[in-house]
Structure 1
Amino acid sequence: MQAVEELPPKLKNTVELFQSVQDPRTKYEQLLYYGRKLNPLGNEFKTRENKVEGCVSQVWVRAYLDDSKNVWFEADSDAVLTKGLAALLVEGLSGNSPPEIVKISPDFIHIMGLNQSLSPSRNNGFLNMFKLMQRKALQLYIESEKSEDQKELRSLGSNGSSVEAQQIEVSEKPSESADVKSHENEMGFTVLSERGERIIEKLERELVPIELEVEDVSYQHAGHMGAKGEGGETHFNLRIVSDKFEGKSLIKRHRLVYDLLKEELDSGLHALSIVAKTPSEN
C-alpha cells in the first residue's frame, strides 16, 4: 500500500483530513460541502469522452495542461454526493505533473475511510473517476511529448537552408531490402562508399557506440528527386546503440545524429533512416 507521505501535497492533505474524521456522517457532510463548492462544468465539455463510465450518476471530467505542463481537472455531476467525490479528486490531483498523477495508487481511497461511508456502487464510481483522471493525465503527457518532438523535428530545417530543403526520413525501423547482396563484394563483406566510411568515423568518434550498422541504400532511390550527391551516395540506413542516448527522446536522438552529420547533409546526403537505442533498450 502506498504511504500517505508519498502522495502529492494537496491530495495528502485531503486524505489526512478524512483520515482524522472518525464519524461516517461527518465525512458524508464534508463530501456534500465539497460538492456545493465545485464550479459547474460547461455543457461543451459534457461529452462522451469526458463521461465516467460505471457511475450510478452522470459524471464528467475534463483535463488540460497549464504552461508548466501540470494537469488541471474540472468535473461535474448531476448528483450532489457524486459531485463531492469528483470535487475531492479535482482538488487533490490538480496542479501535479502527469507522471506524478499516473503513479498514484488508489490505496488512498481506502485510507480515507470512504468505503465505510459510501455504498459499493458509489465506491466503484469514485474509483472509476480516479482511473479516468489518470488516463487523461497520461494522454495529455503523450500528446505533449509528441508535440515537443514535432517542434524539434521541424526545427531541424531551421539551422541551414540546405537542411531545410531536404526531406529527412525518420523511422524506427530501417528500410528492408531483398537486394542487399548487390552491395557486397566477392568475399561477402558490405562495401561502403567514402560517405559511408565518413559517417562511421564521425559516429564512432562522437557517440562511442556499442553497436553501429551503416547501410548505403542509395541504389534503391536512383532517379528519384533528391537522389543527387557525391557518387549517388544519398540514402543510408543507420542502426546505432549508444550510452549517449540515455534520457533522450527519439527525436532528440535523431537530432544528435543529424547534427553530427551536418556536413554530409549539406553536401548531398538526402535521407537517413535511423534506429537509435540505448544499451538497455537493445
Structure 2
Amino acid sequence: MTIKEIQDDIIDEFSMFEDWEERYQYMIDLGKTLPLIDEVYKTESNIIKGCQSKVWLHAEMKNDKVIFTADSDAIITKGIIAILIRVFSNQSPQAIIEADTNFIDEIGLKEHLSPTRANGLVSMIKQIKMYALAYQTQLN
C-alpha cells in the first residue's frame, strides 16, 4: 500500500468514532499492537528529542524500504508513534521524504493533543523523515 492509501485508511478508521475519548482509546489499542523495538536499540541515541515522554525509534533498510520499530513509556505517545510507523514503515526513503502529513490534521490529532505532545508529534515525524533522508543519500 502507498503512504496515501494507509493515511486514507486511518482517516476512515478515526471517522468511525463519535468522540475523542473513543479515539484516544483506539490510539492506546494501536500502541499495544506496535511492533516493539528490540531492547538493544533502546539507547540514548534512539530517543526522539523534543518529546515529553521517552520515545525510541529505530530504522533499518531492507530491500530498499525503511523499516521502523519503536516504543514509548507513555500509552498515548505509544499510540501516536504506532500510527506513524504504520504510515511510514516499509516504504521507500523517497516516498517518506515526499509524503505529506495532512492526515494528522484530518483526524484532528494535533488539535486534541497537549502542546508538549503536539511538539513531540512534530519531532517524531521529523526524525522519521531524517532517517529516510539518510537512507536516500546512501542509495544515490
State TM-score, norm by structure 2.
0.89
The CA distance in 2 between the partners of 1:107 and 1:91, in whole Å, is 15
The CA distance in 2 between the partners of 1:7 and 1:71, in whole Å, is 13
Q: Which of residues 131, 143, 162 is equivalent to 2:138? A: 143
User: CA contact under 8 A between 1:62 and 1:74: conserved in structure 2?
Assistant: yes
For structure 1, the residue ranges without an aligned partner over 5 or more in a row are: 1-5, 146-282
What SS does the corresponding residue of 1:8 show, helix, strand or coil? Answer: helix
Partner residue, 2:76: 81
Equivalent residue letter for 1:100: A
Partner residue, 2:52: 56
Alignment of 1:118-197 (within 5 A): 118-145=113-140
Q: Which of residues 7, 31, 53 is equivalent to 1:35? A: 31
Structure with the higher helix share, 1 or 2: 2
Equivalent residue letter for 2:50: G
Which piece of structure 1 moves more, 120-129 or 6-15? 6-15
Once the two structures are TM-superposed, the CA of residue 7 in structure 1 deviates from its matched residue by: 4.6
Once the two structures are TM-superposed, the CA of residue 47 in structure 1 deviates from its matched residue by: 2.5
The CA distance in 2 between the partners of 1:57 and 1:13, in whole Å, is 27
Q: Deviations over 1:188-218 (max 9, x none)?
A: xxxxxxxxxxxxxxxxxxxxxxxxxxxxxxx
User: CA contact under 8 A between 2:3 and 2:88: conserved in structure 1?
Assistant: no
Once the two structures are TM-superposed, the CA of residue 22 in structure 1 deviates from its matched residue by: 4.1
User: CA contact under 8 A between 2:3 and 2:91: conserved in structure 1?
Assistant: no
Partner residue, 1:103: 98
CA RMSD of aligned residues (A): 1.8
Q: Percent identity?
A: 32
Partner residue, 2:22: 26
Equivalent residue letter for 1:50: N
Once the two structures are TM-superposed, the CA of residue 20 in structure 1 deviates from its matched residue by: 4.5
Taking a change above 3 Å as real, the CA distance of residues 22 and 120 of structure 1, as seen in their structure-2 partners, is: farther
User: CA contact under 8 A between 2:48 and 2:127: conserved in structure 1?
Assistant: yes
State TM-score, norm by structure 1.
0.46
Once the two structures are TM-superposed, the CA of residue 87 in structure 1 deviates from its matched residue by: 0.6
The CA distance in 2 between the partners of 1:137 and 1:95, in whole Å, is 11
User: CA contact under 8 A between 1:25 and 1:117: conserved in structure 2?
Assistant: no
Alignment of 1:171-250 (within 5 A): none
Q: Which of residues 105, 108, 125 is equivalent to 1:113? A: 108
The CA distance in 1 between the partners of 2:127 and 2:139, in whole Å, is 18
Partner residue, 1:16: 12
Aligned residues: 139
Equivalent residue letter for 1:119: S
What SS does the corresponding residue of 1:65 show, helix, strand or coil? Answer: strand
